[in-house]
Every structure is written in structure tokens, then in C-alpha cells.
Amino acid sequence: MTIKEFQKFIFDRYYPTDSARGTPATFMWFVEEVGELATALMGKDEQNKEEEFADVLAWLCTLANINGVDLEKAIEKYTVRGVEGTK
């Protein structure tokens, strides 16, 4: 599954609920999932790590969807135009 396909899957399944919740509340859910990922990364449970990575990606897609951002197009910053240097 491509990033575009996954983002559309999330859109098709959750958009009405996500858009009603809005960006601020959705961002808080996203941050909560990032926190859960941080906790999982400190542990040894590989299945939990996978689940938390999936949750973070799903909530990122949700944020992109309700803000009209095509993630596949956005990552062209890295894949097409290239990024110089490091951060």
C-alpha cells in the first residue's frame, strides 16, 4: 500500500468524525500517540512498537486529511526535490 492509498483509506473510513473533531483536538490525539510511541521505543515489545508506529502514521494522515494536505505530494520535498544538509 502506498502512502497515498493509506491516506485515502483513513479518509474514507474516518473523515466525517475527524473533520467534525477539528484540527486542535485531532492534533492532541496525534501528540498522545507520539507519546505512546516514545514509551514503546524505550521497551522491548516489538509488536507494541509496530502498533504505535501505525497509530502515529494513521493520526498524521488524519491531520493531513482535515487540513487538505496530500502527504505523498508533501514528501516530494525529500523524494523529488531533495533536501540539502541536515537538521
pTM recorded for the entire structure: 0.89
pLDDT tens for the chain, residues 1 to 87: 999 999 999 999 999 999 999 999 999 999 999 999 999 999 999 999 999 999 999 999 999 999 999 999 999 988 887 666 655
Spatial contact of 63 and 27, defined as CB atoms under 8 Å apart: yes
- Cell triple for 63: 491531520
Looking at residue 45, its pLDDT comes to 97
Give the chain's domains with CATH numbers: 28-76 (1.10.287.1080)
Q: From 7, 5, 1, 2, select the one nearest 60 (Cα to Cα).
A: 7
